[in-house]
Amino acid sequence: METPPPFIREGEGLASHVRFRVGGPADFFCVAHDLDMLQEAVTFAKNKHIPSFILGEGSNLVVQDGGIRGIVIRLGKGFKEIRIEGEKLYAGCAAKLPRVCHHAARKGLQGLEGLVGIPGTVGGAVIMNAGAGESAACNALESLTVLEKGGGVRKLGREDFLFSYRKFQWVDGTPLHERILLEACWRLQPASSALLTETIKKALALRKKTQPIAAASAGCVFKNPGSQTSAGRLIDEAGLKGMSIGDAVISQQHANFIVNKGNACARDILALMAQVEKTILHTHGISLEREVCVVGETDCK
Ligand code: EPU
């Protein structure tokens, strides 16, 4: 049997690694601080014939109560660098998106300021094309450096990926989990740093006013069903704010947020989501599509 390298832990609880604070253990878990460690973890998974799952900040995830089979890999220190070359901004995929947005604004580069309130890593934001208002992570994205399944590092350009509202895909059809994002490069526009900083201040203030940003949650649970229709508004209109199952509750501040008051488990959150879906189908005739990713197993091993 393959013995894991020392930096790979067994049976790591995942609740402390995700913002919803729910979820069972990963069979194996590691933080890969550089490319060598990452390749070692990937090779371990390959030799052991187990799946691997790349975890960012877990800010858009429901990890189910049975945890994740296989290995969960987080990118660490060596993947957090941010650098600027002319109008291009490069960020390691473990860098926090808000940090990247602040950095761009300070350097007088426009294009990322609208994303400043989105919690999560660069990698997570790209792979889900995270967004707020008109801004989306992939809009100004120029290229991505990736680790291929075969072990090679490659740079892929805009012609290699497609994106739309909260969706990212590779043109050649490679499944998302088969290419690990290492670094993103955005092409930005020069602008006044003072103005960008002001835009950021306003965006953060608005988010604080309208969303439960300090609570344990995964942000908006459902996609907006159309560009003019907010899922939050529909859920609010249906009178569901405050509805709860266990410690999972629909936020009073923004109805598209489910908040973990403390001891919710994934089952509570999923049951509440199903209840919302059923109600909105009944009241508005609309099938809400989930924005959060649900991963892992319902039951323990
Ligand atoms: N509204 C309500 N009740 C609510 C929530 C919203 O009536 O409980 C109304 C608001 O008053 C407003 C309209 O619905 O008139 C739109 O609300 P908001 O500006 O909050 O935007 P949203 O469409 O609900 C989207 C994104 C958010 C992003 C905000 C701000 C989705 C699913 N949600 O929300 O993204 O932060 O715009 O840009 O696209 C996320 O992706 O996790 C997320 C939170």
| Lateral strand order in the sheet of 9-13 | 9-13, 25-32, 68-75, 52-55
Structure tokens at 192: 């006044």
- The response to whether residue 133 sits with its C-beta less than 6 Å from ligand 1 reads yes
Q: How far is the CA of 119 from the centre of ligand 1 (A)?
A: 15
pLDDT at 135 (0 to 100): 96
Tokens of 151: 């072990």
Decide the pairing of beta strands 52-55 and 68-75: parallel
pLDDT of residue 301: 56
Residue whose Cα lies nearest atom 18 of ligand 1: it is 230
**What is the crossing angle of helices 97-106 and 193-210, to 10°?**
150
Predicted local distance difference test score (pLDDT) of residue 53: 97
According to DSSP, the residues that pair with 96 across neighbouring strands are: 121
Ligand 1 centroid vs 31 CA: distance in angstroms? 33
pLDDT in tens, 197-242: 999 999 999 999 999 999 999 999 999 999 889 999 999 999 999 9
pLDDT < 70: residue spans in the chain: 1, 300-301
pTM for this prediction: 0.95
How confident is the model at residue 300, as a pLDDT? 64
| Structure confidence by residue, pLDDT tens digits, 270-289 | 999 999 999 999 999 999 99
Q: What distance in Å separates the CA atoms of residue 123 and residue 264, rounded to the nearest whole number?
A: 27
What single-letter amino acid sits at 237?
Answer: E
Residue nearest atom 28 in ligand 1 by C-alpha distance: 132
Atom of ligand 1 nearest to the CA of 114: 38
